[in-house]
Chain A
Amino acid sequence: MMGAWGHLSFTAPLALLALALLPVIWWVLRAMPPPPRRAVFPPLRLLAGLQSTAQTPDATPLWLRLLRLLIVAAGVSALAGPVWSPKGVQTDNAGPLILIVDDGWASAPLWATLQTSGARMLASAGGRADGAAVIFSARPEQSQTRFSSPAAARRILRSHNVAPFAPTRKEVLAHIAALVKQSGDTSPRIIWLCDGIDHGGAADFMKALAGYGDVRLVLPQGEQSALLMQAPKASTSGLEVTLLRTPSPAARPVQVVALDKDGGIIYAQEANFAPGKTSARITMVLPLALRNRMVLLTTATAQSAGSTWVFDGRWARPLVGLIAPRSGGDSQPLLSGLFYLEKALSPHAQVVRAPLADLLQRQPAVLVLTDAARPPPAQWQDLVDFVEQGGLLIRFAGPHLAANNDTLLPVKLRRGGRLLDGSFGWDTPQGLADFAPHSPFYGLRRSDNINVRREVLALPQSAAPERVWARLDDGTPLVSSARMGKGRIVLFHVTASPDWSDLPLAGLFSTMLERVLIFAPGQAARADDDRAQNWQLIQKLDAKGRVRKPDGAPVSLPGATDLDKLTASAATPPGLYTRGARSGALNIGAGQKALLALPPPPMGMRVQTNMGAAPAALAGPLAVLAFVLFITDTLLSLWFAGLLRWSGFGRRFGAGLLFLPALVLVFGTPSPGQADEAEAARALALQRAGVTRFGYILSGDGRVDRMSKAGLFGLSQTLRARTTVEPEEPVALDPERDDFAVFSLIYWPILNDPDLSPKAIETISRYLKNGGMLVIDTQDAGLRATIVGGVDPALKAVFAQIDLPRLRPIPADHVLTRSYYLLRSFPGRTVQARVWVESAGRGASLDGVSGVIVGANDWAAAWAVDKEGNPLAALSDDMRNQREMARRFGVNLVMYALTGNYKADQVHVPAILKRLGTP
């Protein structure tokens, strides 16, 4: 039963009956005065004689009685669960509530909002056992099939996850029909928490929905609405990425980020939706090497499965086969064309040099054929097949080609070629002409000092302008290209070695080849397509646009499926699939032309855009009010009893009370602008930079954080007492907002999978890159790692997000064992867990000093002391002087952080002594 009272309603109205007790309480309070104030009075003996004076007790002051009644009233009202419903939300209809929730990919950016507003709406549905039902549009099978109590429905909504595919609203109608039938006479209220996108057939759905009468549609606000990423297109200038949104009059900047397979951000660029425009296009100009590392393209804000593109094998670094001459060993390897090609291609592609037969088995995307490496006629047909089935063949001219034409050419060649600087010719060596706009080389800077001395000449009638990609100054083609079958042939009219021209010596050569490689086909285009095998899902894309290992039953699709034409659904989840050696991605945005907004709602359907102003539960504020009043009453009682004097403590406390409203104001007002924050952060960093300090990363667990602080405090005390390092108070760090750069050592307790934002990851990665030292401590003596077998799951999650160098168990002669004390083990609260450091050889920039030290011995607990220097935690006592040894390790750690490999020389002390010689 749900009591309603205008805008105010109660979830447990019976509790209000307790208010009837208020007069009784009034009477009791009247009879019970507050305890007297105590006063010490030395001449008590003199007072004793006065006791006959009348003892009329002070009645409880009126205002105090009113205060206490208010406390009781507020408490009782809070228990009754009042809900304040602003305009329109509360309907007069008392029927059960059917809540339709869009849980498709488009809901991912606003899922938290959807959940809270849904929960609030359910809260306003009262406490009836059959008061509400939740229906999910993307996963209708998880909907409630009969009405339950709103609390149960709320639990279902809370535990529900967004689906990484679009909702199928048609199925929802059947559920609603079933529910309506159940509700009998009373017509149910229907609220639709919508993602604002027409996923197909929305108009019909809405029409059908409006037939049920009392229907309300709740739309997301513009900033929350989802984005859709279309299939990126590789162009000559870069990667073209198009984002779609539903129509909106506001401009909206969106950060597009490219991630590598470890989740590291390798590139970011901002796309801007102009006001009123529904699409935003950017061209990501990034080197092929970076492009090849890219596995995921997503948006930093409003991230969802739809705004994410998973790259499959088609986008990978192409395998380029350099066909080696049959004759075997090169007599002059440095003058061979293959040498120049290998150098020029290796930044952009995986290059393999082998005879043709071996190469074809590896299924390269590109074959490079130099003049000297012409295959025997028997293999010629293989080469033709390769091109016809979609391969890219890059050819270079040479004496053989000049003498004999063959079939695999984009243009017909004049026999004999052309000698430009011969002793008997009038021609002079020619330079390059500007690249034509249709050429993939367009935009490249041609260099003036490239001279072409000899070339093969194309027959003018065969060299159509679109086939010519580069010309010499006099207009003769230098690079020509033509399609053949599914593939393409590109011919450089000069040799790959500098014999005929300076081109192979120029940097331009490598850039030109990179542009040519864009035409390299993906694996899909090539042969050896085993359609008998099934597609297996190996990485699934979740609704939030993150790539995860698939859980649950393995997903496999028929091998004949064309993933590009498939729409993501529950049976065909988006993600990365493999079929044999090939991989294919199923993306939400594949083949999507536009992101359609919901059509205007039919008559009779009420629309509400603001999800936030859903009914507000007043129980919390009322309970807080009752509590604050109770505290006030307690303080007043203390004051009456004389325990709280206005002097001294009382005055300070009173001042604190006065500050309370100020505090409320401070926390109530919005935080200052970002510019101020950045300014403040910079000032703080400057202030912190002046002295040596240690930081610890907040774990979110108060106990752990206190221990981290006490541990670093203890370590600092130890250092002050024993060394010349005099650190100041340790500082708590939040990777979200703090600058790590000024800390020489940061302690990071990782107890459970920390949820790191891209910004936090950026901060930590940059700290490591700039030579910081991160001491990671799982504080469980390696237990979790042992249980799971392998790496601690929490660490695994962290390592997956942060680009950490390779780690290895600490070697016995590591600098850490001798940077201050000579140590053999690295104990903390526990002793046995292994310590891992970076394996050496990370590059000269960090001088071989490990930036990461990973352990599980709970070092902070062993170092932790209170303000008076007493240890705070009991140790496992597995070794003698364990605490002392832990402190020594701490000192060594700091010395290592501060002096690096300075003491590494000691490793060689025996050898040095020996060399110095004993006289």
Chain B
Amino acid sequence: MSSFVPSREHHDAQVLASRFGPLLAEAKRHAATLMHGVHGRRKSGTGETFWQFRHARTEDAYAAIDWRRSARSDDLFVRETEWEAAQGVWLWRDGRAGMAWHAHAGLPDKKDRASVLLTALAIALIKGGERVGCVGEMPRPVSGSGALDRLAISLIDGPGRAEDFQAWGPIGRPKLVIASDFYEGPDVWAARLYPIRDKGIDAVLLKIHDPAEAQFPYKGRTLFCAPDDSEGAVLFGRAQSVAADYQRVFAEFNVAMEDMARALGWPLIRHDTAKAPAPALLALHRAIGGGGR
């Protein structure tokens, strides 16, 4: 009697909030460290912020010459502003059943880790003035911190269907970040990614995996089944005996994925959910940040 039991709807909302809140907070924390380490675009372009004076070259128009600076010496200088044009970054996080899985308590789901990484990236990008979108959830990329919540919800709770790529027709040549475990195999993914590459879009692949998927720590008589029961189960009398073989197969799979990425010309970033997310986040940011410095 001293504590009244909340209604069922309230309960569900609380569960949602309890998942969303910590993930968003974690994403913000990572975004903060990211922004702390990286400043500005460090690239000349059409912006308002002064970037640098450089010696005028022959192809520069006269109008581009900064006469005030040039008057102070014998050379001609051009005033350059920092590149600020928002180019648009699209994010997509795989939402297959296999992503919402972890082998040991204490480790996050692959899906959650991917959500955190992408959300942190989105926060950092939006703070940097970029326009960020979520494939399949938004018609066009958004900008400004007001859009941040909507973006975060899309990234954390969005369904993440692979079919979304077919209907996805971005304007211009935005960057794309794809986070997945890619267990559908290089062939499936190649068929999915080549049309995107052909549109002239640059992408970064974030391949995320659980440590158990790399090490195969199972023992004894074990029946392995797919997370969504879509595929048949596999039974091993002694799981430990196949561990070495599995590790070999897993390594081959990684090589195949890297080959595919290389063929596409896109970077592939590998992330283990047991590891800290910061390095992967920094690598992601660098990869889409256009190289920086």
Q: Which residues of A contact B (CB under 8 A)?
A: 33-34, 36-51, 53-58, 640, 642, 647-648, 713, 716-717, 720, 726-729, 867-869
Contact = CB atoms under 8 A, between A and B. Distances in A.
Given A46-B249, A58-B221, A713 B1 contact: yes
12 contacts: A37-B223, A38-B222, A42-B97, A44-B224, A50-B242, A50-B246, A53-B245, A54-B241, A58-B220, A647-B104, A647-B105, A729-B2
B149 to A, nearest CB: 30
B224 A39 contact: yes
B279 to A, nearest CB: 23
Interface string B208-249: 001001000010111111110001011111100110011001
A45 B213 CA distance: 12
B253 interface: yes
A36 to B, nearest CB: 4
B250 interface: yes
Contacts of B249: 46, 49-50
A696 to B, nearest CB: 15
B227 A40 contact: yes
A496 to B, nearest CB: 68
B181 interface: yes
A37 to B, nearest CB: 5
Contacts of A713: 1
Contact of B223 (A33, A36, A43, A869): A36
Contacts of B110: 42
Contact of A55 (B236, B245, B253): B236
B245 A45 contact: no
B222 A42 contact: no
Nearest to B212: A41
Contacts of B246: 46-47, 50
Given A50-B246, A53-B236, A33 B183 contact: no
Contact of B234 (A34, A44, A640, A717): A44
B222 A720 contact: no
A46 B250 contact: yes
B83 interface: no
Given A43-B181, A647-B105, A728-B2, A51 B220 contact: no
Given A45-B185, A47-B246, A727 B1 contact: yes
A779 to B, nearest CB: 24
Top 8 closest pairs, chain A to chain B, by CB: A42-B98, A41-B224, A36-B221, A36-B223, A58-B221, A57-B237, A44-B226, A56-B237
B96 to A, nearest CB: 8
A720 B183 contact: no
A45 B226 CA distance: 9
A648 B223 contact: no
Given A58-B237, A869-B5, 13 more contacts: A34-B221, A36-B223, A40-B101, A41-B227, A42-B98, A42-B183, A44-B231, A49-B249, A53-B236, A56-B238, A57-B237, A716-B1, A729-B2
A729 B218 CA distance: 48
A34 B223 CA distance: 12
A51 B223 contact: no
Nearest to B99: A42
Given A44-B234, A55-B235, A727-B1, A38 B250 contact: no
A39 B223 contact: yes
A586 B246 CA distance: 96
A713 B218 CA distance: 50
A36 B235 contact: yes
A535 B253 CA distance: 108
Contacts of B2: 728-729
A34 to B, nearest CB: 8
A45 B221 contact: no
A647 B1 CA distance: 32
Given A56-B238, A727-B1, A729-B1, A43 B221 contact: no
Interface string B167-181: 000000000000001
Given A42-B101, A43-B213, A53 B242 contact: yes
A37 B105 contact: no
Contact of A868 (B1, B5, B223): B5
B1 A720 contact: yes
A117 B292 CA distance: 94
B235 A40 contact: no
Contacts of B224: 39-41, 44, 47
B145 to A, nearest CB: 35
A44 B250 contact: no
A58 B226 contact: no
A33 B181 contact: no
A38 B234 contact: no
A39 B231 contact: no
A426 B210 CA distance: 127
Contacts of A727: 1
Nearest to B101: A42
Interface in B166-203: 181, 183-185
Nearest to A41: B224
Contacts of A43: 98, 181, 183, 213, 250, 253
Contacts of B236: 53, 55
A867 B5 contact: yes
A40 B229 CA distance: 9
A139 to B, nearest CB: 56
Nearest to A642: B222
B181 A42 contact: yes
B181 to A, nearest CB: 6
A38 B225 contact: yes
Given A716-B1, A727-B1, A40 B225 contact: yes
Nearest to A868: B5
Contact of B221 (A37, A51, A647, A867): A37
Contact of A44 (B225, B238, B241, B245): B225
Given A43-B183, A46-B250, A728-B2, A53 B218 contact: no
Given A46-B250, A728-B1, A55 B237 contact: yes
A767 B63 CA distance: 104
Contacts of B184: 45
B157 to A, nearest CB: 20
A49 B248 CA distance: 12
A720 B2 CA distance: 10
A572 B225 CA distance: 84
A882 to B, nearest CB: 24
Contacts of B183: 42-43, 45-46
Output the residue of B220, B221, B223 with the most chain A CB within 10 A: B221
Nearest to A40: B227
Interface string B1-28: 1100100000000000000000000000
A640 B183 CA distance: 28
A58 B234 CA distance: 16
B225 A41 contact: yes
B1 A48 contact: no
Contacts of B226: 40-42, 44
B227 A46 contact: no
A301 to B, nearest CB: 42
A400 B212 CA distance: 123
Contacts of B225: 38-41, 44
Nearest to B100: A42
A41 B233 CA distance: 10
Contacts of A50: 234, 242, 245-246, 249
Interface in B6-61: none
B254 to A, nearest CB: 11
A55 B237 CA distance: 5
A642 B239 CA distance: 14
Contacts of A647: 104-105
